[in-house]
Each structure stands twice: as C-alpha cells, then as structure tokens.
Amino acid sequence: MSKFNVSTSTDEETLATIVRAEGSLDGETVPHLRKVLVDLIEEGHCKLIIDMEKLAYISSAGVGAFIGVTKRVREEKGDLIFVAPTPSVYNVLDLLGLTKLFKIVDDCQKAIAEFQK
C-alpha cells in the first residue's frame, strides 16, 4: 500500500487553498487526492496551491488528476499553482511539458502573492 497524505488550509486574505501532498501519488492514491480536489472545487475553492515539498513520487495518474481539474478551476477564474516540487517530481512535470502549463514557485507565500495580482 502506498503512503500518501493530503491536508488543506485556506489563506483568509486571498481565499487560496493550500493542498499539501505528501508521500507517493500513484494509481492507488490518486482517487483520494481527486476527491479532495473535486470537493474543494464544489465548495467554491478554485484558487489551489499544490504544495509538493514532501511529495516523493508522482505517476502519470497523479499528473492526470491535476490536469483533470485544471480546466474546471480556470473556468471559475481560478488556477493551480505548484509549490516546491521535489527534484524527481519536477523532472516528471518537466518531461511531460507541464512546467509550461502550470506556474511553479518556491514557496506558498509566493503562490499566495500570485493570486493577489
């Protein structure tokens, strides 16, 4: 069984929601992440900051979960911003061309600042 944890918090000023992903995001753990993301969007949280600082691994299924919600949040004038992906996760995102599709910043404060623009 893959180890994966996800937690969320919301910045009161920008209403951006920080989603902290930790562990391995693969076919086994993606349904849990997808449910968290869809629930947030349905609650009106469309400014999503994905903290990847402790995400050790991401599979194509994990990448697919993020791509799957991107159109929906952007239709609601929101977005996904990735924060501090580990080198192995960054390499997967870069290999798939997602470093051009998603904004990637060094820390959550920079991501919050992006939503204040």
Whether 65 is in a domain gets the answer yes
The Cα-based distances of 35 to 18, 60, 71, 91, 92 in angstroms read 15, 17, 16, 25, 23
Q: Are 13 and 47 in contact (CB under 8 A)?
A: no
Question: Which CATH number is 77's domain given?
Answer: 3.30.750.24
Q: Residue 13's pLDDT is what?
A: 87
Whether 117 is in a domain gets the answer no
Whether 115 is in a domain gets the answer no
What mean pLDDT comes out for the span 13-28? 95
Query: Is the model's pLDDT at 25 over the cut of 60?
Result: yes
pTM, whole model, 2 decimals?
A: 0.94
d(CA 45, CA 35): 13
Neighbouring-strand partners of residue 8: 19
Whether 116 is in a domain gets the answer no
Tokens of 55: 């995400």
Range of the domain at 24: 4-110
Residue 90 — φ and ψ, nearest 5°?
Answer: -60, -40
83-100: pLDDT as tens digits: 999 999 999 999 999 999
Q: Which amino acid is present at 17? A: T
What mean pLDDT comes out for the span 61-82? 95
Please tell me the total count of domains within the chain.
Answer: 1
Whether 64 is in a domain gets the answer yes
